[in-house]
Structure 1
């Protein structure tokens, strides 16, 4: 999914993803319990720089994610997936990856500059940037939602960045049923918490010359 968001767009066969991950020793059954390995795999397959964020998805890291999405570039985020694909908190028992590809910022009406953003014809409360020229108003945002898709979902969803950060930060252990099923999985030294908690991967799919000004 992230490869499709690259500019120029790439088509990466799922079998090639799995085979490469197995060959590199990142996975045994298709699992990915290491954000570090995910960054290496994504960078290789998407032919772009993959930046690993650690230390949680709040504060400065939240601002980095918002600005990255604002520039039209994807973020890979591990989280606990609920039955409706939204973030939940299950201690990592339902750990999955999602791709974030957009951001919706809640702003005070007076903080929106009409020169760079215009109201939607059908939703007057929704402002759309004109040609991506509006600087990211991350410091003025009172609410943040990110546009995400999980591989098993048929549609994109808007998730609160706070809920994603909370789900991401509590990834601690593998599902006990999976851990005791007798199947081999690749788990980093220190376990799921060391491999996933508080981490995300920024994919730099545009060059500096392609960045919106």
Structure 2
């Protein structure tokens, strides 16, 4: 185009430049790997502490579930406190053994590292797993110096009274079972096989089965009886029973029906197929999980009985 003086001028145009693209977002945080990755139960346990004492936490549990117990029975509580320990990886059996050891030998300096090392050296475990009650009994005797009595044939029948008396006498039992999402016993054919340590029992007895001089009423729960020092557990009149137990995914005591725990313990048949195919090495006894765990428990005695 020409201006007033006849000179040619260029047409001015405005070019709209596109804004620069936004900076890429920061990369997502990489998940922790190996032993640094925390499971939900480990995160929940952080910053918490177990309730200590033989009767303190069992009393709290019973207060919450008071309506669950038959009113026509006398209820007696036997329990010995065991400290809690959260497992790191598939170490539920070894953690249960460590907790039981604190009850039998509270002054002993027994570390988890020592238990794991001994179990691996003896060929009982590869990852921390224990799929054999026989191996558990041998390991307990080696690291604790106790007498480990392995019961077979289930937790009922002739073993029922033996188990109750052992707990009433203040000695622990290591019990394999299938663990539900809330840690309670379930029946998954062994796919959720887990170990717990039982340290107490709640017994419902017919009235008149007890020698009243051997027991006193609990100061907070008048319907609950506690044994006086030196009192042994009842041998007759038991109509119902619950187990107090701890396991490696919670700091808290669990209160389980002995009947449901017995059923869970009896049906441990096989390892979880997904776990069996995950590429890891596990020590499984000849005959599989069913041969190693089903219907078996390990009673730990401070001393071997004399003939």
Same fold (TM over 0.5): yes
2:199 to 101, 126, 130: 101
Aligned to 1:198: 295
Aligned to 1:142: 239
Asked if 1:76 is matched to 2:171, the reply is: no
SS state of the match for residue 2, structure 1?
helix
Query: Do 2:147 and 2:303's aligned partners in 1 also have CA atoms closer than 8 Å?
Result: no
More strand by share: 1
1:41 to 139, 145, 152: 139
1:160 to 236, 248, 257: 257
SS state of the match for residue 213, structure 2?
coil
> Mind listing any 5+ residue stretches in structure 2 that lack a counterpart?
1-98
Q: Distance in 2 between matches of 1:27 and 1:138?
A: 38
Q: Deviations for 1:120-148, whole angstroms, at most 9, x for unmatched residues?
A: 12211101111132x42132111111110
Query: Do 1:6 and 1:206's aligned partners in 2 also have CA atoms closer than 8 Å?
Result: no
SS state of the match for residue 162, structure 1?
helix
Q: Distance in 1 between matches of 2:230 and 2:203?
A: 14
- Report the Cα offset of residue 165 of structure 1: 0.7
Q: Distance in 1 between matches of 2:107 and 2:253?
A: 19
Aligned to 2:190: 92
The size of the alignment, in residue pairs, is 208
Q: Distance in 2 between matches of 1:11 and 1:196?
A: 29
- Report the Cα offset of residue 185 of structure 1: 0.5
Query: Do 2:216 and 2:226's aligned partners in 1 also have CA atoms closer than 8 Å?
Result: yes
Q: Distance in 2 between matches of 1:206 and 1:49?
A: 6
Aligned to 2:15: none
Query: Do 2:214 and 2:228's aligned partners in 1 also have CA atoms closer than 8 Å?
Result: yes
Higher gyration radius (CA): 2
Query: Do 1:79 and 1:167's aligned partners in 2 also have CA atoms closer than 8 Å?
Result: yes
Q: Distance in 2 between matches of 1:46 and 1:157?
A: 24
Q: Distance in 1 between matches of 2:112 and 2:153?
A: 30
Higher relative contact order (CA 8 A, sep 6+): 1
> Mind listing any 5+ residue stretches in structure 1 that lack a counterpart?
none
Aligned to 2:163: 65
Report the RMSD for the aligned CA atoms in angstroms.
Answer: 1.5
More displaced 10-residue stretch of structure 1: 36-45 or 118-127:
118-127
SS state of the match for residue 115, structure 1?
helix
Q: Distance in 2 between matches of 1:7 and 1:208?
A: 17
